[in-house]
Amino acid sequence: MTQYRVLPGPEHFLPPAAASMGIYLPNPGEAHINGVIVPEEKAYEEAARQFLMAQVPTIFPGPLVLWAWNEKAAKKAAAVRKLYDILKECVQPGQKPMLIPMPDYRPKYPKINPEVEINPNHPNLTIWHNKIDCCMFIGVHCHQANLSLKIIRGGTSCYTVAMCAQAGHEDAMLSFRDASVEKILKLGEWIRKLKGTVKPRLTTAKTSASN
Amino acid sequence: MAEIKSHIGTQNKKGQTYTDAWKMMNEAPRNPSFYTGSEVIKEALRRASCDVMIAYPITPQSEAAALIGELFAEGYIGDYFRGESEFAVMSQCAGAAFGGARVFTTTAGPGTMRAMENFPMWAGARLPIQMIVTCRGINSPLSIQPDTIEISYLLNTGMLVWHAETAQDFFDWILKGFMVSEEPEVHLPLALCCDGFFVTHTKDVVNLTPADMCLPPYDPYRSPVPCMDMECPPVRMMRDPFIMKSNYISYATHASWQQEIWAAVERSRKHTIKWINGLIETENTDAEVVIVASGTAVSQGREAIRLLEDEGVRCGLVKVKSLRPWPGEEIREATKNARHIFVPEFNVTGWLAKEIKATIPNSERVHAGPHVCGGMTMPPEIIVSEIKTALGLRSESLAGRGS
């Protein structure tokens, strides 16, 4: 049993892949928090709590939900938009929810515009620029998501959540698997349920220093 | 994800029924058949719903490659052609896999070495291509005979590497290999190795699944990277700023990418354990003497153990089935009681013994041998002799001249 835990960084100049540190992916019906397998229900609560605690809770939708390449993708996109609306409705003054797309994975030079997009090859530009302290990946191809989640863990203190349509992501601090429209909306329900019960983590020395 | 209609229960153009892979491999009736290893490769491919097979002749895999050509002629393979060389074949395999096909190929010895540049590329591009490696000698002077040295070169490519002992392993693992390597969190190429000639050219009774059942087709929409996206890595290979630029972000991205390949190897662990019933198999690991081997050296080890039992020496056995993922914990556990660990190998460097020494505590317990190479056979008697010598028992000379 590994002692390694997947925690907000900045972790290391080159943080390890969590899978190489003995972290396993959850089975169907499960999720993981910090690399520890938990029932999915517990992960909804924790993800909602992290969103409501964050100063800049942000959803990063990727190409698999940004483009209406099939009916299910279009429905998921609508669910993501609804989740964002719920988040805006549930946060307190001083919190700033954002919805920033990862439209593709092309390396872009000299650099991306961090106000309008995030790129898996240098995600920290967007995290740092917008002072994002909690984010959720959804609709990002698994390899690109892991690439990005690891870089974020290495260089920022941002709390990362993955709503993965496949087997989940060890490199996120919290990961769901088999994401569906229902699961996205269920997270929204949990955010509504916890509205007003979570104290936001407004500007602190730690977040301003590491962002 | 994609709206992929389940194919289970429907039929392909040959009248085979797409069958749940677990049921097909574990619950369907088996038909005993007397086949060579090469014929077994053909029979596995008949049931694999393979889209593309690309061939190039090199001994000892040529027969298998030719037999799969017959399968194509019969309509069981989507496409089949010969490349210009092994390097071309492996590059063409990449192209087909980038396009979303289930891809299979076979090679051996110098062919493996010639194509080597492609294997880390396959792994880095997350292409779940399956490659059969029928191992043979690679160095000058030329040898076409069995020798497992080429496996050592594959171990750090990022590919999954399994080492089959028998034709039955081969049949089962070809089909099961697609299931492991196509898992979205794994999605890596598999080098399924065997000892050339010993497995490919000898006949054995192999229990086959029904020929009217086949694996469900590959679903490229579960791939962890976009399928055939010319603008994004990994398809966008060259002229690519993140590859070609010299700056911290480029290096960090590439480093994270490499880590992700090896993370995927780790993720294959639980699927490999499920499908091939553990990364190792063990017998009598409470014994003070244990043989750890892979491939046909396992068979020779079994016979050596029988000969030793006749002489009152009890000996355990560890059959290493998967080399990547590496069964480190399993080997530590299986050898914890052993005072002497023997690693017979069909290669000159003893790469398996080195891996084991790097894995277990008190590695002075490992006796790296006996080794044979260049096509030599490994009589069980030489394993017996090595063990008896180490135990201080009298051992008869096996190769003395005039004695």
Please state, in angstroms and rounded to a whole number, the distance separating the CA atoms of residues A155 and A127: 10
Please state, in angstroms and rounded to a whole number, the distance separating the CA atoms of residues B247 and B76: 49
The parent domain of residue B308 ranges over: 280-391
Residues of B in contact with A71 (CB under 8 A): 3
Please state, in angstroms and rounded to a whole number, the distance separating the CA atoms of residues A120 and B175: 34
A211: in domain: no
Which residues of B touch chain A, with CB atoms under 8 Å apart? 1-3, 126, 183-185, 187, 222-226, 229, 231-233, 236, 240-242, 245, 249, 252-253, 255-257, 259-260, 262-264, 266-267, 270
Q: Using one digit for the tens of pLDDT, what is the confidence trace for B157-185?
A: 999 999 999 999 999 999 999 999 999 99
pTM for the full predicted model: 0.95
CATH number, position B39? 3.40.50.970
Confidence of residue B238 (pLDDT cuts 50, 70, 90): low
A58: in domain: yes
A165: in domain: yes
- DSSP structure class, residue A178: S
The parent domain of residue A97 ranges over: 28-196
Q: Which of A17, A63, A69 sits opposite B260 (nearest CB)?
A: A17
B67: in domain: yes
Residues of B in contact with A64 (CB under 8 A): 1
Under an 8 A CB cutoff, do B270 and A24 touch? yes
A108: in domain: yes
B79: in domain: yes
| Closest of B156, B46, B155 to residue B104, by C-alpha | B46
| Residues of chain A where predicted confidence (pLDDT) is lower than 50 | 205-211
Boundary-marking domain end, from B205, B222, B239: B222
Residue type at A127? Answer: I
B2: in domain: no
Confidence of residue B95 (pLDDT cuts 50, 70, 90): very high
B285: in domain: yes
Say whether both B182 and B79 belong to one domain.
yes
Under an 8 A CB cutoff, do A122 and B232 touch? no
When mean pLDDT is compared across B112-121, B132-141, B219-228, the lowest value belongs to: B219-228
Report the number of distinct structural domains present in chain B: 2
Q: Give the chain A residue whose CA is nearest to the CA of B325.
A: A20
| Closest of A111, A170, A179, A112 to residue A145, by C-alpha | A170
B257: in domain: no
Q: Using one digit for the tens of pLDDT, what is the confidence trace for A151-206?
A: 999 999 999 999 999 999 999 999 999 999 999 999 999 999 999 999 998 765 44
CATH number, position A173? 3.40.50
Boundary-marking domain end, from B222, B240, B271: B222
CATH number, position B346? 3.40.50.920
Q: Give the chain A residue whose CA is nearest to the CA of B236.
A: A106
| Closest of B379, B386, B375 to residue B348, by C-alpha | B375
Residues of A in contact with B249 (CB under 8 A): 121-122
Say whether both B293 and B200 belong to one domain.
no
Report the number of distinct structural domains present in chain A: 1
**ipTM (interface pTM):** 0.93
Q: Are B280 and A174 in contact (CB under 8 A)?
A: no
B125: in domain: yes
Residues of B in contact with A150 (CB under 8 A): 256, 259-260
B332: in domain: yes
B247: in domain: no
Say whether both B210 and B289 belong to one domain.
no
